[in-house]
Amino acid sequence: MSALEPLLSVEDLQVAFKTQDGFVPAVRGVSFDVYPGETIAIVGESGSGKSTTAHAIINLLPGSGRITGGKVLFEGRDLSQLKRGEMEAVRGKEIGLVPQDPMNSLNPVHRIGFQVEETIRANGLATSKRDVRKRAVEVLKEAGLADADQRLRQFPHEFSGGMRQRVLIGIGLSSHPKLVIADEPTSALDVTVQKKILDHLEHLTAERGTAVIFITHDLGLAAERAENLVVMHRGKIVESGPAREILQNPRHPYTKRLVSAAPSLASQRIQAAAATGAPIGSVEVEGEEPTLSLLTVAERAAEASVDAPPVIEFRDVTKVFKIRTGGPRSIPFTAVDKVSFQVPKGSTMALVGESGSGKSTAAKLLLRLEDITSGTIHVDGKDITELGKQELLALRRKMQPVFQDPYGSLDPLHNIGNTIAEPLNVHRVGDAKTRKARVLEVLDQVALPQTVLARYPNELSGGQRQRVAIARALALKPEIVVLDEAVSALDVLVQAQVLNLLAELQSELGLTYLFITHDLAVVRVIADHVSVMQQGKIVEQATVGEVFDNPKTAYTRELLAAIPGVDIPLGA
Amino acid sequence: MLWYIVRRLLQGIPVFFGSTFIIFSMVFLTPGNPVLRMFGDRTPAPEQVAALEEKFHLNEPFLTRYFLYLGDILQGNLGTTYAGQSVNEILARTFPTTLRLALLAVIIQLVIGVLVGLISGLRKGGIFDNVSLLVTLLIISMPVFVLAFVAQWIFGIQLGWFRPTVGAGAPWSDLILPAIVLAGLNMAYVVRLTRASVIETSQNDFVRMAYGKGLSRGRVIPVHILRNSMIPVTTNLAADFGILIVGATVTEGIFNVPGVGNELFKAINRGDTPEIVSIVTILVIVYVLVNIAIDVLYGVLDPRIRYVK
């Protein structure tokens, strides 16, 4: 086969999901080619049909999904017409899969070795017990797990997310397939791990000339890893072509919005905008509400006063957990280790670090959801660790949290109106009438229509839910808002909206934010000060500008380098 | 692991004292004089009554009687019935039969229940699924004695497939019908639990990954779907065991199975305190042990479970 023949050719693919009201289209006439050895990225928000397209190729559509039209030609064969047995022969052997969520993509009840070996056997790479074992060890070694012999005997829960994804990459590439579909392979991982994993995947596929379809919602990541991009929106391809060209010169309005909203690209974009003197980003698409440009966020954040007296002050705060072992004893684990920082009134302090660095524990200590082991936390000059029940209630009235998971932090049995009113009821603020007025007021502040009041959380989108969570936090007119990964679960466009909202509310109401995140790219557009945490300790503390321009510790540099797309120059 | 089992066994001790105390006081509170009941229609002489009451400590205060009984039990002596039989002997005679009946019932409920539940779960919303949901609902809604009498009448009397009551020595073939009845209720729960569990497991990413890495359906279903779905089903067996004991008492009575349940049933009618308390205590101990065994099994089925606290 000549190099000019596409390996995979998707022609006018249509996919629909069967519902009570008939078929609802999810993919509407998608066409693209993948050449041998080429990496293409399909980019889009959740619900854009990018994952559905990928799953349709290997006929693994969930539940009621059906291919309703078009062709999937793989080396000239139409995969959509294959019988079940024929398809099972293609999967794994010809087309590998690297799944989205490493935490849930390995069967928790089987050993790692078992799951690698069954792949090897199913794809006929080895048959005798010894050969299968030998090949399994090779696969794990290629995947970058050094002590593969021992690893085979372990269970998935004994592996970190990054290690699991390495195993899954190993499984996906074990039979040296011609094409690999990598479905958001790192969206569940820390940024620094993400970079290592993707480097590794790139190394393996480049070495073997494997073609890759890379599915992601992160435009920066896509541009960094793929030669060609396919941008999807509402089941259609809105733009496709060479990655850098699209990034530097997006033509379709939706692509322009994506480029302007991607936080990983924001730093370059701000400089570019400064050079031309015009904000980029507020482009309207198909009657949707326009997003504010991130530039305004950055500007407003910068306006926040940094010389005001500290509202929050951590002094040598330490938290030790007791870890239970199998026996009668327990071992101590220091989650937060002598952490000190101050947050001036009206400003934003970002606590940055990987999972396990203790940043969320620090937030819980501030909220008094956990008791501190030693040290003091002062809020408005008062030591909160000493507070009695009444004083604690008063403290919580002026300090409200917003958590990461908008799906988990709203009670599914309460409608939105009751959810937002709950803190007002708990703290007995005003009467029924004024409470109702306050609910409407905050709803307006987070730009949600009054019609959502009677709705339930499952009827709202992720972005809307996070707005509800913010509205609930604002209901009591707090002075401090603790945002624990409050935008991490959101798509880029929604993320940009919520960040804008937070910055606006801060300048309007003079709020102080403690912003917990693992994503330095977001920090740049929202924070004034940054504290980088590693293994419970603060390793670097400075203003946002200093951290980005002149990182002092190797760990911070590592975090910065891990922001995808950081090296890609953008056209103005 | 060993530490965990030791701890669980130690936790069984208060359960033992609590349950014997509750059962003992409940039987104590039941109206009627057991001595008078022993004589049926005849009226015994007052000296006879006094002698028997003395022999069985019936005149002692409640707590004294309880501690006397407890002392006996701790020495391995489960006491004698008011009719003078040793409870140890009665249990030795009846327990093996009940064990066989229960074993047969558990096998039936697991094999049929899991199979039907698996097919229902894999074909959610299909005809098979709907029929099995309807039938299991019927079974769950029916008291076990109705189920027993209906089965006895249809299969034992009308069709003549089985003997309607169990004959001497309780051969396996005679135990099949009572075992099916006994299994019925739990089987319905097993079907529904397996079905729900299979549906939930099938939606996991690792199932899609299993197909994605090239496995056939013939491998994914048993190894990745059924295997994981069995975890809740197995743990639920512990709770089902209580239903099994209650069901055994009723079923054994109706089918005249010479087992523990039948014996207990008769003892309750006689108001035979030592026998009732002893049999129920033994059943409680078995229940506690079965629960510990299943909790340990849980850890084998699901390697993520670690025995701490």
Is the CB of residue A106 less than 8 Å away from at least one CB of chain B?
A: yes
pLDDT per residue as tens digits for the range A449-472: 888 888 888 777 777 888 899 889
Residue A269 confidence (pLDDT): 30
C-beta separation of A529 from A521 below 8 A = no
- The predicted structure's pLDDT at residue A272: 31
- Residues A122-153: tens digit of each pLDDT: 988 888 889 999 999 988 888 777 788 888 88
A111-115, A155-159, B303-307: segment of lowest average pLDDT: B303-307
- Radius of gyration (C-alpha) of chain A in whole angstroms: 25
| Residue A274 vs residues A219, A245, A517, A540: alpha-carbon distances, Å | 22, 21, 27, 28
Residue A566: band (very low, low, confident or very high) from pLDDT cuts 50, 70, 90: low
Nearest 10 degrees: Cα torsion B240, B242, B244, B247: -130
Which residue has better confidence, B190 or B172? B190
Q: What is the pLDDT of residue A12?
A: 92
Q: Please report, rounded to a whole number, the percentage of residues in chain A having pLDDT higher than 70.
A: 89
- Whether residues A62 and B215 touch (CB distance < 8 A) is answered with no
> Is the per-residue pLDDT at A293 higher than 50?
no
**Residue closest to B213 by CA, chosen among A51, A144, A118, A209:** A118
pLDDT of residue A565: 65
Q: How far apart are CA A557 and CA A550, in angstroms?
A: 9
* β pairing state of A382-383 and A374-379: antiparallel
CA neighbours within 13 Å on the CB side: how many for A94? 15
A302, pLDDT greater than 60: no
Q: What is the pLDDT of residue A327?
A: 58
Q: What is the pLDDT of residue A132?
A: 92
**What are the backbone dihedrals phi and psi of residue A348, each rounded to the nearest 5 degrees, phi first?**
-120, 125
Chain A residue numbers with beta carbons less than 8 Å from the beta carbon of B4 are: 326
d(CA A180, CA A167): 15
Does A18 reach chain B within 8 Å, measured CB to CB? no
Answer whether residue A561 shows pLDDT above 90: no
**Cβ-based contacts of B1 with chain A (< 8 Å):** 326
CA A70, chain centre distance (Å): 32
Q: Does B35 or A432 have the greater pLDDT score?
A: A432
Mean pLDDT of B264-293: 83
Residues 235-294 of A with CB under 8 A from B: none
- Residue B207 binned pLDDT confidence (cut-offs 50, 70, 90): very high
Residue B37: which residues within 8 A CB-CB, separation 6 or more?
Answer: B270, B271
CATH superfamily placement of domain B94-301: MetI-like (1.10.3720.10)
Check residue A264 and give its pLDDT. Answer: 57
Band of pLDDT at residue A307, cut at 50, 70 and 90: low
More confident residue, B306 or A202: A202
Amino acid making up residue A367:
L
When pLDDT is averaged across residues A251-255 and rounded to a whole number, the result is 87
B214 touches chain A (CB under 8 A): yes
d(CA A424, CA B65): 60
Residue type at A384 in one-letter notation: I
Q: Hey, is the C-beta of A104 within 8 angstroms of any chain B C-beta? A: yes
pLDDT digits (tens, 9 = 90+) for A345-399: 888 999 988 877 888 889 889 988 888 888 899 988 888 888 888 888 888 888 9
Decide if B304 and A118 are in contact by the 8 Å CB cutoff: no
Distance of CA B64 to the CA centre of its chain: 31
Question: B237 or A400, which is more confident?
Answer: A400
A8-19 vs A480-484, strand pairing mode: unpaired
pLDDT above 70: residue A491: yes
Residue A169 touches partner B, C-beta closer than 8 Å: no
Q: Map out the domains of chain A as residue ranges.
A: 103-176, 295-393+482-494+511-564, 399-477
Distance from CA of B241 to the nearest CA of A (A): 25
Q: Point out the residue among B205, B215, B304 whose CB comes nearest to the CB of A122.
A: B215
Is A64 in CB contact (< 8 Å) with chain B? Answer: no
Element (H, E) at A431: none
Contact between chains at B301 and A93 (C-beta distance less than 8 A): no
| B72 alpha-carbon distance from chain centroid | 26
Specify the residue for token string 């950081």: A566
CA-CA distance, A392 to A389, in Å (whole number)?
Answer: 5
| Inter-chain residue contact B211 with A91, CB threshold 8 Å | yes
Are A104 and B301 in contact (CB < 8 Å)?
no
Beta-strand pair A39-43/A211-216? parallel
Q: Which residues on chain A are in Cβ contact (under 8 Å) with B212?
A: 58, 60, 91-92, 96-97, 99, 172
Q: Whose CA is closest to A30, among A215, A198, A157?
A: A215
Closest CB to B206 among A60, A84, A104: A104
* Chain-chain contact of A122 with B216 (C-beta, under 8 angstroms): yes
Round the average pLDDT of chain A to a whole number and report it: 82
Asked if B32 is an interface residue toward chain A (Cβ–Cβ < 8 A), one would say: no
What are the DSSP calls for A378-428, one per residue? EETTEEGGG--HHHHHHHHHTEEEE-S-TTTSS-TTS-HHHHHHHHHHHTT
Chain B: residue nearest A175 by CA? Answer: B213
**In this predicted structure, what is the pLDDT of residue A571?**
46
Task: Kindly identify which residue of chain B lies nearest to residue A62, measuring between CA atoms.
Answer: B203
Mean pLDDT of A27-49: 88
Provide φ and ψ at A16, rounded to 5°.
-135, 155
Question: How would residue A292 be classed by pLDDT, with cut points 50, 70 and 90?
Answer: very low
Within 8 A of B203 by CB-CB distance, chain A residues are 62
What does the block give as tokens for B144?
């076990």
Closest partner residue to B304 among A91, A96, A108, by Cβ?
A: A108
Site from A19, A86, A88 to mutate, B interface, most B CB atoms within 10 angstroms = A88
Give Dmax (Cα) for chain A: 77
Structure-token match 């709950």, residue found:
A422
- For β-strands A179-183 and A95-98, DSSP reports them as parallel
Taking the Cβ of residue A76 and every Cβ of chain B, the question of whether any pair is shorter than 8 Å is answered with no
| B302 chain-A contacts, CB cut-off 8 A | 108-109
**pLDDT tens digits along A499-544:** 888 888 888 888 899 999 888 888 888 888 899 998 888 999 888 8
A122 has a chain B CB within 8 A of its CB: yes
Sketch the domain layout of chain B as residue ranges: 2-74, 94-301
**Which run of H or E residues covers position A74?**
strand A65-74
Q: How far apart are alpha carbons B67 and B75 in whole angstroms?
A: 12
- B226 at the A interface (CB within 8 A)? no
Chain A residue numbers touching B216 (CB-CB < 8 A): 85, 88, 122
The residue that leads in pLDDT, B173 or A283, is: B173
Single out the residue of B141, B149, B233 nearest to residue B185, CA to CA. B141
Residue type, A439: V
Strand order in the sheet with A39-43: A95-98, A179-183, A211-216, A39-43, A228-233, A236-242
Closest-CA residue to A410 (of A361, A363, A470, A474):
A470
Beta strand A480-484 with A399-402 is parallel
Q: What is the DSSP string of A110-156?
A: S-HHHHHHHHHHHTTS--SHHHHHHHHHHHHHHTT-TTHHHHTTS-G
- The type of residue at A115 is Q
Residue A284 scores a pLDDT above 80:
no
Residues of B in contact with A168 (CB under 8 A): 209
A392–B contact, CB cutoff 8 A? no
How many Å apart are CA A134 and CA A149, to the nearest integer?
9
Portion 250-289 of B in contact with A at CB < 8 A = none
Arithmetic mean of pLDDT, A160-176: 86
Beta-carbon pairs below 8 A across chains A and B: 99
Q: Is A477 exposed, middle or buried (0-12, 13-18, 19+ CB in 10 A)?
A: middle
Distances (CA, A) of A334 to A373, A534, A537, B129: 10, 12, 10, 52
- Among A315-324, A407-416, A422-431, B53-62, which is the least confidently predicted range? B53-62
CA distance linking residue A245 with residue B13, whole number of Å: 75
Average confidence (pLDDT) over A14-18:
87
The answer to whether the Cβ–Cβ distance between A88 and B308 falls below 8 Å is no
> In chain B, what is the greatest distance between 2 CA atoms, to the nearest angstrom?
86
Mean pLDDT of B88-98: 86
Q: Whole-angstrom Cα distance, residue A181 to residue A211?
A: 9
Flag if A100 and B308 touch (Cβ within 8 Å).
Answer: no
- The pair phi, psi for residue B61, each rounded to 5°, is -65, 160
Q: What is the mean pLDDT of residues B210-215?
A: 91
Judged by CB atoms closer than 8 Å, whether chains meet at A119 and B215 is answered as yes
Q: Contact B217/A84, CB-based, under 8 Å?
A: yes
Percentage of residues in chain B with pLDDT exceeding 70? 94
> In sequence order, what are the beta bridge partners of A91?
A95
Task: pLDDT band for B221, please (50, 70, 90 cuts).
Answer: very high
Contact A91 B303 (CB under 8 A): no
Whether B175 shows a pLDDT value over 60: the answer reads yes
**How far apart, in whole angstroms, are the C-alpha atoms of residue B84 and residue B100?**
27
Of residues A364, A350, A181, A361, the one with CA closest to residue A263: A350
CATH 3.30.70.20 fits A295-393+482-494+511-564, yes or no: no
DSSP state of A174: T
A388/B contact by beta carbon, under 8 A:
no
What is chain A's length?
572
Contact A340, A316 (CB under 8 A): yes
A308 Cβ contact partners less than 8 Å away, ≥ 6 residues apart: A344, A345, A346, A347
Nearest chain A residue (CA) to B298: A109
Handedness of CA A157, A202, A558, A483 (dihedral sign): negative
Euclidean distance between CA atoms B63 and B59, whole angstroms: 11
Tell whether A171 lies on the interface with B, counting CB pairs under 8 A.
yes
Contact criterion met (CB below 8 Å) for A7 and A36? yes
Q: What is the pLDDT of residues B95-147, one digit of tens each?
A: 888 888 888 998 999 999 999 999 999 998 889 999 999 999 998 888 888 88
**Cβ of B205 and A101 within 8 Å?**
yes
**Pairing verdict, β A480-484 and A77-78:** unpaired
Of A93, A105, A109, the CB nearest to B227: A109
| Rounded Cα gap, residues A476 and A470, in angstroms | 11
